[in-house]
Amino acid sequence: MNATNDNVQYPRTIFIRRHSLVTRITHWLNAICLSFLLLSGLQIFNAHPELYWGPYGADGDPAVVTIGSAGNGADAHGFVRAAGMEVSTTGVLGISDVDGQPTARAFPAWATIPSFQDLAAGRRWHFFFAWLFLINGLVYAGFGMLNGHFRRDLAPKVRELSPRHLWHEILDHARLRFPTGEEAKRYNALQKLTYLAVIAVLLPLMILTGLTMSPGVDAAFPWLVDVVAGRQSARTIHFVTASLLVLFVVVHVAMVVLSGTWNNIRSMVTGRYSIKETGPNP
């Protein structure tokens, strides 16, 4: 007789529903909006490539960051100056090749919308996608609260916040050891904390400082300027938060690629995410 063992466990691939339709739509709209906001924002920054802290800017506050150029013709070079230090950035920032001539320009043509220097056009692009981004974010937040997405998927459990647990996850990420089986069905603690920091801190701060730079909003809510220590400070905070969001996107895309490009993209297009688990032979 051939004995069979029903307790033998075999690896198998199953599909789970990871992202709702609303989450998927708002995710891709966010990606589009952030791309246009970044490129048009750099166009706006190019009109005055210096950041200040305080209410007055060039009229009374020293620049904390400057992206500029010095010299003429063949001697022209770009630089970034911050915290009293200056770094040469020729070929990257400060100088752009326009019709074969080195031209003073903080960010190059390929990094701005429109590619040519046009502050008015850059502002129109920026404002359109800023409002679309805000509306899309409100839809995502409202849906997330109504269907329990924030509480169920993003709120970390107490045990996940222990230093030992967090350190273990940091080491796993550094070694490119990603969750499998049951653990892959949900976000890990680092993902939860990162998404919450972006949703609850970076994005509201970027929106608030963006509104603070509007003269119309300042007239209606003058206290906003005081909250952020002046319109020039708001501009600096806006630039910093946008830079941190770019860093987040870069790391996010890197993790998508390293942990399984097609599986992650499929989950954000169709909602289906595959995981490997063990079970009895069917």
Residue 114, preceding bond cis, omega within 30 degrees?
yes
For position 149, what pLDDT does the model report? 77
For position 121, what pLDDT does the model report? 94
Residues 136-145 have pLDDT tens digits of 999 998 888 8
Give residue 70's domain range.
50-106
In this prediction, residue 1 has a pLDDT band, given cuts at 50, 70 and 90, of: very low
In whole angstroms, give the CA distance from residue 18 to residue 259.
15
262 and 198, same domain (yes or no): yes
The number of C-alpha atoms within 13 Å of 6 and in the hemisphere containing its C-beta is 0
128 and 243, same domain (yes or no): yes
Tell me the pTM: 0.83
Per-residue pLDDT for 232 more than 50? Answer: yes
For position 162, what pLDDT does the model report? 87
Tokens of 84: 């009293």
241 and 147, same domain (yes or no): yes
In a domain, 20, yes or no: yes
The three-point CA angle 35-79-51 to 5° equals 60
134 and 222, same domain (yes or no): yes
Tokens of 161: 């916040």
Instruction: Work out how many domains the chain is built from and give that number.
Output: 2
* CATH code, domain carrying 213: 1.20.950.20
For position 214, what pLDDT does the model report? 84
In a domain, 71, yes or no: yes
Positive/negative CA dihedral, 276, 279, 281, 282: negative
Taking residues 237-260, what's their average pLDDT? Answer: 91
In a domain, 4, yes or no: no
DSSP assignment letter at 39 = H
The amino acid present at 260, given as its one-letter code, is G
Per-residue pLDDT for 58 more than 70? Answer: no
In whole angstroms, give the CA distance from residue 70 to residue 101.
14
40 and 155, same domain (yes or no): yes
15 and 141, same domain (yes or no): yes
Percent of the chain residues past pLDDT 90, beyond the cut = 27
φ, ψ of residue 45 in degrees (nearest 5): -60, -35
In whole angstroms, give the CA distance from residue 45 to residue 52.
12
Query: Could you tell me if 235 and 213 are in contact, meaning their C-beta atoms sit under 8 angstroms apart?
Result: yes
80 and 185, same domain (yes or no): no
In a domain, 217, yes or no: yes
Query: Of 72, 106, 140, which one is at a domain's C-terminal end?
Result: 106
**Burial of residue 125, with CB atoms counted within 10 A of its CB: 0-12 exposed, 13-18 middle, 19 or more buried:** buried
For position 247, what pLDDT does the model report? 93
217 and 131, same domain (yes or no): yes
For position 73, what pLDDT does the model report? 67
Per-residue pLDDT for 217 more than 80? Answer: yes
Residues 162-199 have pLDDT tens digits of 888 889 888 888 888 887 777 777 788 888 898 899 98
Per-residue pLDDT for 60 more than 90? Answer: no
In whole angstroms, give the CA distance from residue 183 to residue 7.
22
Name the residue among 118, 144, 185, 113 with its Cα closest to residue 23: 144
